[in-house]
Amino acid sequence: MTVQIDHALEEIRRFRPSPEFAAQAVADARLYEEAAADRLGFWAEQARDLLTWSTPFTQTLDWSNPPFAKWFHDGELNVAYNCLDRHVEAGLGDRVALHFEGEPGDSRAITYAELTAEVKRAANALLALGVAAGDRVAIYLPMIPEAVVAMLACARIGAVHSVVFGGFSSKSLQARIDDAQAEVVITADGGYRKGRAFPLKPTVDEAIEAAETTVRSVLVVNRTGEDVAWTEGRDVWWADQLAAVDAEHEAQGFNAEQPLFILYTSGTTGNPKGILHTSGGYLTQAAFTHKNVFDLHPERDVYWCTADVGWITGHSYVVYGPLANGATQVLYEGTPDTPHPGRWWEIIEKYQVSILYTAPTAIRSFMKQGRDVVHGFNVRSLRLLGSVGEPINPEAWIWYRHVIGGGSIPVVDTWWQTETGAIMISALPGITDLKPGSAQVAIPGISIDIVDDDGTPIEGEGGGLLTITEPWPSMLRGIWGDPERFKETYWEKFGDRYFAGDGARRDEDGDIWLLGRVDDVMNVSGHRLSTAEIESSLVAHPWTAEAAVVGASDETTGQAVVAFVILKTSQADQVTDVVAASDELRRHVALQIGAIARPRQVFIVNELPKTRSGKIMRRLLRDLAEGREIGDTTTLADTSIMQIISEQVK
């Protein structure tokens, strides 16, 4: 059986980099040549250029025991030193590292000197609690500066952090504490979200109560000032503990393969896996991609990545990449629509943000609101836009570029995963001609291939499975505590290649288009259709804000396309006849793509089931479309959503 995915979408728009942008671009086309000529030499050069090593490495890659890679493994470095002290030593101590904006409107600028001082104290605080190199520390915090400080403090002493998204339940937290055997938890009394204080500490108490692992200490940041229950001898206020310890802490070098963090994947497809990342290779690729993909000019840019630190994007592109590069960035605690729908644009105007990195789900929710909200603010400081998390539909890409970006600035769509640690596929701004909807090209030094189900590379144009053919510096080093599952999940299918689980297509220019997860690919009368392409077609209709497509079993066609569509706010009032509206959308898809892709049903809904990181959980919609009981919803942002959708669909 071949997994050729039938190519449906016809997207021919192209955008050349402007000469002005190209003239100042950080990335250089020679990077591709250098990496092609000597891949390992290229990464070794990046590691030496971008990072400071306390003991220089002499070996680049040890791949003698695949799939367990070691990068730069006879070298030593301190990750926190690379993100902090060295910038201060270079005279940049007064540069703002974080412009923190709390949801209630409190704000705080933290310089590199201040952040370094804070991390030194936090490192001493952890040491005082008995945390040693290699120990695991769970972090369960809102998006406040202390989250960044806590992560870096762990890195500084060689402890392994496991950040758990602050919106997760006590059960999820407990499972993650137990899986990693974390003996210390860093949390807060609470945080602010959607205009109110939400408690965190009670969730931690519950999780610890239920956990098998004995949690020795809980460090509690005072954020909301709400009352909290207190366990004497175990709970310690963050501020007290930091005040009680020494201000000085000298960073010691650790082996390049020292574990840096465990992060559980977002759980779009099933059971979260504890993905393990280590130090030298991870930081190299995070810093390299952050600099070149986002065209970072640290002396003048203000960068904002809207991801929560609970996700990999928050790890690599809020904490490690930007800070290793000495960037100035915005850190925002709350939701995009609090206290008003223009909050993000207000923040961009306030801090003169020049680089914005966000997810298609956010862009589509702004499309739903309409452009007036954006136009209420001056966002002309923006000069580069990035997208991550899901395929970005061409219409959403165009809207992003025009309405947010003013029509002429680059949009980079970046493909990567928790497992890859850093960006793997993306245009390089100033070099690559941009194509809306395509993630485009492998990063220099990364080897991507599209293969059929037998692992045979698909030559030239065509669709199949996305694989990575060579080890890369920021690759996962395993699944925590489960080497077998690591091999099975990613390596068993093709033996010598990493299987990403995503479908992809290469076009006639060699550019890569992500087609969605392989599990979601539909088979209609023998044609393999991608969710991403049909969704993009639906989003291209002027009425549609967002769409999710699944394949539901069908007696005649094997599978049938079933679509769930959210209409734009401006249209929702005018569309009174939902039957006529869904007929119109079905016709539209048939016209754009072909009769084979015409959805059997189009349901007009108000919500779609999404993970906490904003990804659509299609498997739940498939359950609904096939009339099954709805599967595991624990990683949904809002667990009541499926109930609402079920009722709308009836």
- Cα–Cα dist 217/238, whole Å: 11
Identified binder of ligand ATP from the candidate list 46, 224, 418, 530, rule CB under 6 A: 418
Tell me whether residue 345 is annotated as binding: no
* Closer CB to ligand ATP, 140 or 165, in the complex: 165
Report the Cα–Cα distance between both ends of the chain, in Å, rounded.
37
Q: Quick check: 473 and 285 in contact, CB under 8 A?
A: yes
* Closer CB to ligand ATP, 343 or 615, in the complex: 615
- Does 162 bind ligand ATP (CB under 6 A)? Our answer is no
Identified binder of ligand ATP from the candidate list 183, 301, 308, 413, rule CB under 6 A: 413
Integer-rounded Cα radius of gyration of the chain: 24
DSSP reduced 3-state for 337: coil
- Cα–Cα dist 614/361, whole Å: 6
- Cα–Cα dist 221/496, whole Å: 46
By CB under 6 A, the residues from 312 to 331 that bind ligand ATP are 312
Tell me whether residue 313 is annotated as binding: yes
Between 243 and 272, how does the x/- string for binding to ligand ATP read (CB under 6 A)? ----------------------xxxxx--x
* Closer CB to ligand ATP, 256 or 504, in the complex: 504
Bridge partner list, 169: none
Q: Quick check: 438 and 12 in contact, CB under 8 A?
A: no
Amino acid at 113: A
* Closer CB to ligand ATP, 382 or 439, in the complex: 439
**Residue 594 Cβ, how far from ligand ATP at the closest point, in Å?**
23
Size of the site for ligand ATP (CB under 6 A): 24
Identified binder of ligand ATP from the candidate list 120, 517, 598, 622, rule CB under 6 A: 517
Between 294 and 313, how does the x/- string for binding to ligand ATP read (CB under 6 A)? ------------------x-
- Cα–Cα dist 605/328, whole Å: 40
**Residue 461 Cβ, how far from ligand ATP at the closest point, in Å?**
19
Nearest to 192 by CA among 335, 340, 348: 335
Nearest to 596 by CA among 4, 2, 6: 6
**Residue 393 Cβ, how far from ligand ATP at the closest point, in Å?**
10
Tell me whether residue 600 is annotated as binding: no
The tokens for 1 are 């059986």
| Other residues' Cβ atoms within 10 Å of the Cβ of residue 400 | 26
Identified binder of ligand ATP from the candidate list 391, 436, 437, 445, rule CB under 6 A: 391
Tell me whether residue 194 is annotated as binding: yes
* Closer CB to ligand ATP, 274 or 326, in the complex: 274
Between 435 and 464, how does the x/- string for binding to ligand ATP read (CB under 6 A)? ----x-------------------------
Q: What is the DSSP string of 43-62?
A: HHHHHHHH---SB--S--EE
Tell me whether residue 416 is annotated as binding: yes
Residue 365's contacts (CB-CB under 8 Å, 6 or more residues apart) are 336, 545, 546
Identified binder of ligand ATP from the candidate list 224, 255, 325, 417, rule CB under 6 A: 417
- Does 615 bind ligand ATP (CB under 6 A)? Our answer is yes
Instruction: Give, in order, the Cα–Cα distances in Å from 254 to each of 57, 81, 134, 323, 527.
Output: 12, 11, 11, 19, 52
Q: How far is CA 406 from the centre of its chain?
A: 25
**Chain positions contacting ligand ATP, by CB under 6 A:** 265-269, 272, 312, 388-391, 413-415, 417-418, 439, 500-502, 514, 517, 613, 615
Annotated binding-site ranges for CoA: 193-196, 313, 525
Annotated binding-site ranges for Mg(2+): 539, 541
